Amino acid sequence: MSRLPFSTQDLLLLLAVCSAELPSSAAGGSASALSSNSTDRNQTKCGGSTDCFEGVILPVWMPENPPLGERLARATIYFVGLFYMFLGVSIIADRFMASIEVITSQERKITIKKANGEKITTTVRIWNETVSNLTLMALGSSAPEILLSVVEVCGHNFNAGELGPNTIVGSAAFNMFVIIGLCVSVIPDGETRRVKHLRVFFVTATWSVFAYTWLYLILAVFSPGVVEIWEGLLTLFFFPFCVGFAYVADRRLLFYKYVHKRYRAGKQKGMIIETEGEPDLPSKVDIEMDGKTLNSHGDELLDGEGGCEVKEASEEEACRELARILKELKQKHPEKEMEQLMELANYQVLTQQQKSRAFYRCQTTRIMTGAGNVLKKHAADQAKRATQHDVCSEISVSNFSSKVFFDPGSYQCLENCGSVALNVVRRGGDLTTTVCVDYRTEDGTANAGSDYRFTEGTVVFSPGETEKEVRIDIIDDDIFEEDEHFLVHLTNVRLVSDGANGHKPDHGDSPAGLGLPCTATVTIFDDDHAGIFTFEEPAVTVSESVGVMEVKVTRNAGARGVVVVPYKTIEGTAKGGGEDFEDTHGVLEFDNDEIVKTISVRIIDHEEYDRRASFYVELQEPYWDRRRWTDGGCDEVLTKKEEEERRIAEMGRPTLGEYVRLEVVIEESYEFKSTVDKLIKKTNLALVIGTNSWREQFVEAITVSSGDDDDDECGEEKLPSCFDYVMHFLTVFWKLLFAFVPPTDYWNGWACFVISIFVIGMLTAVIGDLASHFGCTVGLKDSVTAVVFVALGTSVPDTFASKVAAIQDQYADASIGNVTGSNAVNVFLGIGVAWSIAAIYHYSKGQEFKVDPGTLAFSVTLFTIFAFICIAVLIYRRRPSIGGELGGPRIPKILTTCLFFSLWLMYIVLSSLEANCHIKGF
């Protein structure tokens, strides 16, 4: 994984230290040192003090003015502590973001009624994507900065501090310039990424700039140096306003209904896609959906029905895509087992799936801390589970119970067969015992005495015997009649013991009973007619993986003589000639007394998902094979018996029955579709990063895994690297500690959410104290420490998460689209909550809440100007010559990245110089 160059960090540290007034800090603290952190601590005014003061949790390290060597040692300890606390925050933030992913992934079922009256049931997410990105996702990404501001104010007697607000502005600058600049450069040459939800991006970008403009106004314009209650509350209320505007833009409510829209047809039938920021459609294009025609000047798209149709089609497309990937992998790796192929297919689908910012944040954090690649681990685990076949027991057979039943349950015979044998079997129980069962025939359409002989009796299974035979006599006649059937029932199963007087019932502990089927059906075919030839049913469904399909042609109501039945296949939606099936034609030759023949057709396996095509097999008119009647010529003199047989046969000519055309429906392989369905159910990203038990969390906490995130197709699990082991041992304390946080499955993620945000607040309080003490130890003002060190530490996980999102996602929303929203939320929540509480507290005391504009106003102004430049460049990059906000031709890509990095360096340098009075601020 790529990292920020250390030379840049060294340069930042050098600039910060060089711009600090070390002499004043070395000279000692002022005589009137305050006992708490108020607006006077670590002042940003010229000539202000950089003395160390009591923190929210950590006290001042005494003595206050140590020698230079001890000062450097203290600074080193503070810096290492700060680094370790940032690791802890990143790990608990990972749990926090996992809970957010689970919360925002909740779904509900809805029923949609189409225009044609058809009702479909589908699932939709409870949370709107835009709302979740601007609320929970942004809160999760910016929680350390927001809570640092709140904790700093509440922990210092509700007086304003420099660390929290400047961290918010510094983090916004890092996000806007460094993260976006990095995302622009990491896209492979020739590729681009565009923002998909352009309207939402414009809304959040506007609010982002407005948020910092508003911050300047309340600092230096409306009431300079004083924050009033209405200013703090209005800042806070801008947050729901921002979310509401973005939701309106996303859903096209209010005035957006009248904005010009364009549509294009999707690849799947019935799927409508809005062309947002894409080339225009031809003016003549019309698209019909639910009886409505949408063209380039068309009507609005219904959010209800249309949106659900798009979702339904997209789900089908996801299944087909997974099926295609699985098929390609089988062809590419024929030597691999299905479990390995499923693992590779699931990993590819998860990699290509659109992901949220929360997922990218969790994935990056776990790779960095030695917890492994969550996608590969999840794919391997689910592949193993998917290959485990469910065992469905047709008959529950206990080892302690004997079951007696017919096997098989149906029999066929000709009426001239003499007798039919039925097979009775014994399964389970103690085979050393004797089991008896009674049997009895019962009339169906066949009658005892005229068609078969009534039979009843008892079958005795001696010790060790598992099969017995029951014979029923069949009565033959010369009368034309339909095929008939009768039944044979098993009753009164019992265990017996051998005694002197024969078998005696045994009422021991080993029970015996009837299994299924306990009734057999015997069908008697008439042999006095040539027969009626038909398929067993009008349609049959076969799997495309069957290879060779076999269908039965039955001969009913007679089986006399040799009969030839021609047949042929006919194309339907399935094509012959080896495309979907192989054309087949020929004849079936039924011998005398033969009642069943099969037709074989070869089916071509395409391994497609949700496939459905059909063709037909048709029977032609049957006829006698007269050559088999006699070897003589036509003038041969027949005996009286032969003439009688000829006369009877002529009376019963062969005919076709009810089903002479069989429709063969080819569907996807059940096993293949089942495999795809099992895999597609496991592609919910909330399942990937969520946890369902404390045991799972502790196992993950002590397990080190490979953090290799290369998109290779190797099914073998890689060993952890040295870096993975180092990071694991550095963070194992935090992992074990935060394993006590409730799993994300509890209360749909809300339990983990609440506990995690409380823990983040505690850690940020310590971070604030460490950062302030580190700054005063090396002679840095809080404002400089905030924009250089704290903002960098809180934003590094987001940096790598955005980098991965830029490379893996096909759109730029997850990588840069959420940056603008997070920057706005930082101000509305981080500043709005903290300053509203402080303003109300001071008002209750009859005082004013004073905030020195100083460096904060200067930093805000500087950031706002640079943000305008950044957004303008991103909009310009959407021109066809570049193609999108990220990537593009090599030269524009390098120039954009250099520009954004330069803006951030200028922001850091100018803010540091102003804080130390080298340039004039406000």
CA–CA separation, 242 and 559 (whole Å): 83
Q: Work out the pLDDT band at 748, boundaries 50, 70, 90.
A: confident
Q: What is the pLDDT of residue 670?
A: 53
Whether 750 shows a pLDDT value over 70: the answer reads yes
Q: Are 877 and 892 in contact (CB under 8 A)?
A: yes
**What mean pLDDT is predicted for residues 661-670?**
78
Q: Cα–Cα distance between 267 and 389 in angstroms, integer?
A: 34
**Residues 393-412: tens digit of each pLDDT:** 333 444 567 788 998 888 88
The runs of H, that is alpha helices, within 412-535 are none
Q: Tell me the pLDDT tens digit for each residue of 324-365.
A: 666 677 667 666 666 666 666 666 666 666 677 777 777 778
What is the per-residue pLDDT across 774-784, written as a single tens digit (0 to 9) for each? 988 888 888 88
Mean confidence (pLDDT) of the chain:
76
On the question of pLDDT at 818 being above 80, the answer is no
pLDDT at 543 over 70: yes
Contact in structure between 250 and 197 (CB atoms under 8 Å): yes
Closest by CA to 184, choosing from 709, 878, 909, 825, is 878
Give whole-number Cα distances, 196 to 99, 200, 532, 812, 875, in Å. Answer: 26, 9, 65, 7, 13
pLDDT recorded at residue 737: 93
Alpha-carbon distance of 445 to 481, in angstroms, equals 11
* pLDDT for residue 370: 73
The residues facing 437 across adjacent strands are 459
> From the centroid of its chain, how far is CA 744?
16
d(CA 602, CA 544): 10
Closest CA to 461 of 487, 506, 494: 494
Q: What is the structure's pLDDT at 617?
A: 92
Greatest pairwise CA separation for the chain in angstroms:
144
Confidence of residue 431 (pLDDT cuts 50, 70, 90): confident
Residue 845 or residue 316, greater confidence: 845
Flag whether pLDDT at 191 surpasses 50. Answer: yes
What residues pair up with 295 in beta bridges, in sequence order? 286
Interatomic CA distance for residues 29 and 25, integer angstroms: 7
Band the pLDDT of 511: cuts 50, 70, 90: confident
Nearest to 603 by CA among 660, 659, 540, 678: 540
pLDDT above 70 for 507: no
**What is the average pLDDT across 182-186?**
92
Higher local confidence (pLDDT), 569 or 821: 569
pLDDT at 685 over 80: no
The two structure tokens encoding residue 588: 């079936």
Instruction: Please check the confidence at residue 421 and state whether its pLDDT lies above 50.
Output: yes
pLDDT value, residue 674: 59
Residue 122 tokens read as 């589908």
Per-residue confidence (pLDDT) for residue 388, from 0 to 100: 47
Indicate the pLDDT class of residue 432, thresholds 50, 70 and 90. Answer: confident
Looking at residue 129, its pLDDT comes to: 79
Residues 263/274, Cβ–Cβ less than 8 Å: yes
Q: What is the average pLDDT across 252-269?
A: 49
pLDDT of the residue at 813 = 84
Contact 614, 662 (CB under 8 A): no
| CA-to-CA separations, 139 to 205, 504, 573, 694, 767, in angstroms, rounded | 17, 80, 54, 25, 18
pLDDT, greater one: 310 or 410? 410
Residue pair 543/600 in contact by the 8 Å Cβ criterion? no
pLDDT at 292: 39
pLDDT at 559: 74
Give the predicted TM-score (pTM) of the model: 0.62
Q: Which of 92-106, 135-149, 357-371, 886-900 has the lowest mean pLDDT?
A: 357-371
Tell me the Ramachandran region of residue 732: left when phi exceeds 0, alpha when psi lies from -120 to 50, beta otherwise: alpha
pLDDT tens track for 601-611:
888 877 665 56
pLDDT at position 623 is 83
Residue 21: pLDDT band with limits 50, 70, 90: very low
CA distance 573 to 504: 66
Residue-by-residue DSSP string for 709-748: -------SPPPP-HHHHHHHHHHHHHHHHHTTSPPTTGGG
β-strand partners of 619: 567
Q: With b meaning 16 or more CB within 10 Å and e meaning fewer, what string describes 795-831?
A: bbbbbbbbbbbbbbbebbbbbbbbbbbbbbbbbbbbb
Q: With the C-alpha atoms ordered 887, 892, 895, 896, is the resulting torsion angle positive or negative? A: negative
Eight-class DSSP state of 474: B
Distance between CA atoms of residues 409 and 68, nearest Å: 97
Q: Kindly tell me if the per-residue pLDDT of 708 is higher than 80.
A: no
* 24-80 pLDDT tens trace: 333 333 333 333 334 444 444 543 456 778 888 888 888 878 888 888 999 999 999
The values of phi and psi at residue 483, to 5°, are -65, 140
DSSP 860: H
How many CB atoms are closer than 10 A to CB 552? 14
CA 566 to chain CA mean position, Å: 52
Q: Give 310's pLDDT tier (boundaries 50, 70, 90).
A: very low
Whether residue 865 is predicted with pLDDT greater than 80 in this model: the reply is: yes
Over range 262-287, report the average pLDDT: 40
pLDDT reported for residue 200 = 84
For the cut 80, the answer to whether the pLDDT of residue 656 exceeds it is: yes
Residues 6 or more apart whose Cβ sits within 8 Å of residue 279: none
Q: Is the peptide bond before 408 cis (omega within 30 degrees of 0)?
A: yes
More confident residue, 898 or 448: 898
Q: Read off the DSSP letter of residue 55.
A: -
Q: What is the pLDDT of residue 277?
A: 42
Q: Residue 165, preceding bond cis, omega within 30 degrees?
A: no
Bigger pLDDT: 479 vs 590: 590
What does each C-alpha distance from 261 to 196, 281, 387 come to in angstroms? Answer: 15, 11, 47
Among 612-621, 709-718, 902-911, which is the least confidently predicted range?
709-718
Which residue, chain included where needed, has tokens 């009565």? 475
What number of other Cβ atoms are within 10 A of residue 536's Cβ? Answer: 12
Helix (H, G, I), strand (E, B) or coil at 466: coil
**What's the pLDDT score for residue 715?**
44
Contact 533, 563 (CB under 8 A): yes
Q: Is the pLDDT of residue 109 over 70?
A: yes
- Of 296 and 240, which is predicted with more confidence? 240
Query: Given the DSSP bridges, would you call strands 612-619 and 661-667 parallel, antiparallel or unpaired?
Result: antiparallel
